[in-house]
Structure 1
Amino acid sequence: MKNTLVKLVGLSVNTSSFISKSFAAEKALSIFSTPLKGRPNEEQSDFLNTAFKEELQYNNIPIMTYRWLGKKETVLLVHGWESNSARWKNLIHELKTKDYNIVALDAPAHGNSGSKRFNALLYAEFINVVAKKYSPSIIIGHSVGGMASVYFQHTHQISSIQKMILLGAPSEFSGILNRYVEMLGYNRRVSNQLNSIIRDRFGVTPKEFSTSKFISNITPKTLIIHDELDKIIPYQDALLLKNAYHNSKLITTNGFGHSLNNATVSNHIHSFLEG
């Protein structure tokens, strides 16, 4: 049923492209950048209520942050697509036992943050606001949160950040976009116009927005963890990141999927932080 609905949406956008390519591509971009989930449920809200919460702002858009206080270095947690800060619950418990100072933020259009749309450039600016406020020395980013974290550091070069951990992070935005176009079955009229709109609106083509390119001019020591059976972000992306950045280490897992949310990964994170 889900696949049928996806194909019907793609067919509708394709049909509209013969009337207006621009309208069809705008619709395609809106679908691409609008999460269908990511707001916290009751259980997640209960956990997030254990934190000190503070709302920051970027261009009048609310950024919700959560803090669990500790005496060691500050760790900033950056979640991925259709998620929220509660996804870090297990890792937060581990970090708290080791007395790290923990900060998490909700992405644009996710959790309790504002915005109706999501994109990695806006997320990077959210991260910059939070980093300036709390001066983290460590960033841990999952999926597109890892991509946004690298772009943030590439753009702003915050000196306090000494280590980064990228969990299931994508390398090439063009790959993400191409998989979306393929999933919806968009025709060439839509896909070409979609690329043009992204270039005009964000000042960069999908091919130019590359984490492996951005990572080459940052300095933090970086740990990359990626599952070779990841069905969301191909393992090849991890190899691109590792090959692009000399000051990095790649840990390959098998069978943990894209979430990488388990004790083994937490142990790898701990070893890297303490090393």
Structure 2
Amino acid sequence: NNLGTTPITINTGIGLLTLTGYTSTSSVGGISTGGSIAYSYTLSAAQNTPAATESTDVIALTIQDAGGASDTANLTIQIIDDTPTANDDTNSIDEDGITPITGNVYLPSRSGSGDVADRQGADSNGTPITGVNFAATNGTLGSPLAGNYGYLTLNPDGSYSYDLDNNNPLVNTLKTGDSLTEVYTYTLTDADGDSTTATLTITINGNTDGAPSIIAADHNGVAVGENTVYEAGLISVSDTSEMTTGTIAISALDGLSAISVNGTVVTLSDLNNLATNAY
């Protein structure tokens, strides 16, 4: 009868059940014979429920009448597990630019990068990141994990660094306006073992290293052309003036593909073979 002014709080070991009011619906001789008890329930702490999405707090109830008879029941409170949420992140790096780039897949961005905050929920811990992989390759947290174009080092607290391999031919071939991407997947786990995954996408922005050039070395000086041969050498075995030698300087800072000589295409593979053949 005093619950309206003097609530009763019961610690269930999992939460606090507070009886807040009683409404009598029937009585005999001024003594209540039935009614409704109002209550509130407050969960005390996150529950450790590995691999489960819910748990319960089962509170035993007993009623006893004036004649000594009794009945029992349970008040069951369903507790829904608060699972983690991982959000996809992005970052970018320039070819031949500053490397490594850094960020944090768990915390929100503080530098304009594409870091998006993740959420562990009520079951939080200080090392939320528990795994990282690139395609089918599982990495080790705190150690570099090779992608197609560089290396990602992801730490248990979510911080990371990415080193671009500027010696990779596919990276070096990029021109300004071109780009490549590679995607890493990481795992976020809360304190009671619930896990989820998200991705970190790295975009590599190209940089034109310089225009290609091809120049035949000038061996003639002020004379016409870059080199000279003499017809006289054609009729004399001892005279080899019908033949000469020289060099052609080539430069392709974005990576050499091929050259053309009088309409004949010479590929990079052909050029590499010149070094091992006597021409």
TM-score, with length taken from structure 1? 0.21
**Considering only CA atoms, is the larger Rg found in Structure 1 or Structure 2?**
2
Q: Which has the higher contact order (CA 8 A, sep 6+)?
A: 1
**Comparing both structures, which one devotes a greater share of its residues to strand?**
2
TM-score, with length taken from structure 2? 0.21
**Comparing both structures, which one devotes a greater share of its residues to helix?**
1
